[in-house]
Amino acid sequence: MIALARTRFPGHRWVCADMREAEVEGPFHGVIAWDSIFHLPPEDQAAMVVKGAGLLAPDGAFLFNTGSARDETIGCQFGDELYHASLAPAEYRALFAGHGLLEVAFVPHDHATGGRAIWLVRKGR
């Protein structure tokens, strides 16, 4: 996907790295973490919310998806096992409160996206 993105948008910087270790400099007006954070263990998910908050400019938006309840499970995709986990909504909200993020929208079971829980938060001024 990164190679394709580089051909379509050659003037942009593309980083292929473990999101927990990637070094990027903000601030950004928006951060999107789609179908990614929920593949991390719960404690790493919490760290990624904090990292996302730190990358945002004031009023910047952070869009990401999770499970709808605290859970860890092994699913299956294309015949391979695939790890999924999630914090509880109250845990995400506590992270938001502690790191200057304001909840804009939360959909616990979005049918248009296969039942994913979707969060949209923004950084306060």
- Condensed to tens digits (0 to 9), the pLDDT of residues 82-122 reads 999 999 999 999 999 999 999 999 999 999 999 999 999 99
pLDDT tops 90 at residue 13: no
CA distance 98 to 96: 5
Per-residue pLDDT at 15: 86
Contacts of 23-28 spanning 24+ positions with Cβ under 8 A:
24/55, 26/54, 26/55, 26/56, 26/57, 27/55, 27/56, 27/57, 27/58, 27/60, 28/55, 28/56, 28/57, 28/60
